Amino acid sequence: SATVFEDSVNSVAVTSVRAFPCGVGGAIATDGDTAATFDGSSGRVETVATPLINQLPNDFTIEAWIRRDAPSPIASQIVSTRGTNFAASIQSGFGLNVTEEGLLRFATFGIKAYDGPAVQDGVWTHVAVVFDSSNDAHFYRNGAFAGSVPGDFPAVTNALPMFIGRNVQESFTGFHYFDGSIDEVAIYGTSLSAGRIQAHYLAAVPEPSTLALAAFGVVALAAWRLRRKQPKNWQHDDACALHRMFG
C-alpha cells in the first residue's frame, strides 16, 4: 500500500520505495532521522504525480543532502521528473544529478544542462539549486553560494511523478541510478534566498566548538523545524525518513 505524507495543506503519496536499506544514519547528526541508501542499479523512491512538482516550469528550489559512494561512468540522478518520448525525440521535466565528472548538474531535460560545483564522493554534502523566474540556475554547496549559470527557457512540464535516486523514464543513456545515500529531499515552489539556504545548512550542521555555539545550533535547528511544520507542505516517511517540502 502507498505511504502517504500529509500535512495541513497537501498530501503526497509515495507509491513505491526500493532503497537498500532504509534506516541508515542520516545526514543530520543532531536528530534521529535516517536516510535511504540506493544501490546504483535498481533503488529508487517514486511519488505519485502531482502538479505541485511536475507543473513547475521555473521559480523553484531543490534541496537535499547526498553522499555518493563512488564515481560513476554516467550521471547519478538525485531527483527527476524526466519524461522521454523516443519516437519524437522529445524530453520534458527537470532533474538534479551528480555528473560522471563529479559536478552538481541541474537539467531542464531537452533544453539545457546547468553545471555547478564539484561534489566530493563519500561524504555528506548539502546541495541546492534555485531555478529562478529568469530561467537562471544558482547553485549552493554546504550552505555557500557556488555560482550561477544563465538560461533562456523554462522546463517543459509533464504529468509524471517525481523519482528520487533515478530518472522517471529512461533517457537515451539509461535510468542513471544513484549509488549512495540521499536524505532531506525538499522541493520548494519558490526561489529561496541565499540566506535561507545558508540557514538551513547551518541549522542542520551546528559546530559546537563552544557551549554558546552548541546552544545556538540547537536553537537554530529547533527554529528550522518549527518553520517546516508551518504550511510549507512538509512530508515525512517514517520508513526511510526522507523529507520533502512542496509549495
**What is the tens place of the pLDDT at every residue in 162-215?**
889 988 766 666 788 999 999 888 899 999 999 999 999 998 875 443 333 333
Residue 233 has pLDDT above 70, yes or no: no
Q: How far apart are CA 200 and CA 143, in angstroms?
A: 7
pLDDT of residue 116: 98
How would you label 51-85 residue by residue, b for 16+ Cβ within 10 Å and e otherwise?
A: ebbbebebbbbbbbbbbbbeebeebbbbbbbbbbe
Contact between 45 and 243 under an 8 Å Cβ cutoff? The reply is: no
Please name the amino acid found at residue 171: S
Overall average pLDDT of the 119-140 stretch: 97
Residue 141 has pLDDT above 60, yes or no: yes
Residue 231 has pLDDT above 70, yes or no: no
Residue 222 has pLDDT above 70, yes or no: no
Q: Which residue has the higher pLDDT, 62 or 208?
A: 62
Contact between 34 and 17 under an 8 Å Cβ cutoff? The reply is: no
Q: Which residue has the higher pLDDT, 125 or 52?
A: 125
Q: What is the DSSP string of 199-243?
A: HHHHHHS---SSHHHHHHHHHHHHHHHHHHHSSS-EEE-TTT--E
Overall average pLDDT of the 124-145 stretch: 98
pLDDT of residue 85: 67
